[in-house]
Amino acid sequence: MAAPGLLPGVGRLIEMPAALGRLSRAYSKSHAFTEVLQLPKMELTKLVFPLQELQRHLLPDAKPDLLQLRIFDPSLEAIARAESFFTATPRNRIEYVSSAVRLDHAPDLPRPEVCFIGRSNVGKSSLIKALFSLAPEVEVRVSKTPGHTKKMNFFKVGKYFTLVDMPGYGYRAPEDFVDMVETYLKERKNLLRTFLLVDSVVGIQKADNIAIEMCEDFALPYVMVLTKIDKPSKGRLLKQVLEIQKFVDTKTQGCFPQLFPVSAMTYSGIHLLRCFIATITGNLKTN
């Protein structure tokens, strides 16, 4: 079932912005949070707290509870501290470990694990590359050739946690995909949180519902990440966010109530997502 249509009349809640100014090119490629902190306030909010920036475009009388905005609302200082977990140094090795097509081939890593799942083309490799931009040596492997078996790829992030890049599902997915992912999600002992990617341009698609149902059926805690938020117009993005938020509020149990919108192109939302991962894996105190 697709999400569109869940929230009729949502257009009335949106104050259409006159100018949809993009982040200036000089900052968009910046990886250092110290540089981000120098940005003018509005650009900083747009880059670090994209949901908050979107909220500005809701009409004042729109119900505030429509967007569960501030459940995870770390300070800029906490976000800056989180960057160190994702920064490769000789003492903090961030590296690809191995790949597996079956759970019993998965590396035996004791750290807490977070995994990323999503439809093919949702922007998963781009997002993982953006998360690892402070560790440029890390190679995020992409296997897009039709017919090639896709694998689960394991990355070690220092002594802190493991990040798992799961094969994309939907069109071109191998037949045994569901078996592989299902077994992993159901049986991986140290799996702490699943990040389920949804394309902000098209919203929740039929194939996404398969993954959502898996997470719900196995009572897994998961988080919805909205990708490519630089692509749709501000009005369209806000409409998608409100619809997906409504879906999360009314149709899910295990999904974290706050959405994480991101862009691998402008890095919007990437710092906040790093901070969230560092926090839930027990490595960072944010309050």
CB 215 within 8 A of CB 203: no
Nearest approach, Cβ of 227 to ligand GDP (angstroms)? 6
CB 270 within 8 A of CB 229: no
Position among 264, 273, 275, 280 found at the interface with ligand GDP (CB under 6 A): 264
Q: For 265, what's the count of Cα atoms within 13 Å in the CB-facing half-sphere?
A: 11
For 267, left (φ over 0), alpha (ψ -120 to 50), or beta?
A: left
Nearest approach, Cβ of 64 to ligand GDP (angstroms)? 28
Residue 234 as a binder of ligand GDP (CB under 6 A): the answer is no
Residue 249: count other Cβ atoms within 10 Å of its Cβ. Answer: 15
Question: CA 24, CA 43: separation in Å to the nearest integer?
Answer: 9
Residue 200 as a binder of ligand GDP (CB under 6 A): the answer is no
Position among 153, 258, 263, 283 found at the interface with ligand GDP (CB under 6 A): 263
Question: CA 22, CA 110: separation in Å to the nearest integer?
Answer: 42
Residue 138 as a binder of ligand GDP (CB under 6 A): the answer is no
Count of positions (residues) in the chain: 287
The smaller minimum CB distance to ligand GDP, of residues 31 and 231, is found at 231
Residues 204-233 that bind ligand GDP (CB under 6 A): 227-228, 230-231
Residue 265 as a binder of ligand GDP (CB under 6 A): the answer is yes
The smaller minimum CB distance to ligand GDP, of residues 45 and 126, is found at 126
Binding-residue total with ligand GDP (CB under 6 A): 16
The alpha carbons of the chain give a radius of gyration, in whole angstroms, of 18
Residues 160-179 that bind ligand GDP (CB under 6 A): 168
Residue 4 exposed, middle or buried by CB count within 10 Å (0-12, 13-18, 19+): middle
Nearest approach, Cβ of 121 to ligand GDP (angstroms)? 4
Nearest approach, Cβ of 170 to ligand GDP (angstroms)? 10
Residue 240 as a binder of ligand GDP (CB under 6 A): the answer is no
The smaller minimum CB distance to ligand GDP, of residues 53 and 230, is found at 230
Strand-strand pairing, 152-157 and 222-227: unpaired
The single residue listed with the structure tokens 């996404």 is: 208
The smaller minimum CB distance to ligand GDP, of residues 111 and 199, is found at 199
The amino acid at residue 103 is L
Position among 48, 122, 204, 223 found at the interface with ligand GDP (CB under 6 A): 122
Question: CA 193, CA 114: separation in Å to the nearest integer?
Answer: 5
Residue 198 as a binder of ligand GDP (CB under 6 A): the answer is no
User: Interface residues with ligand GDP (CB under 6 A)?
Assistant: 118, 120-126, 168, 227-228, 230-231, 263-265
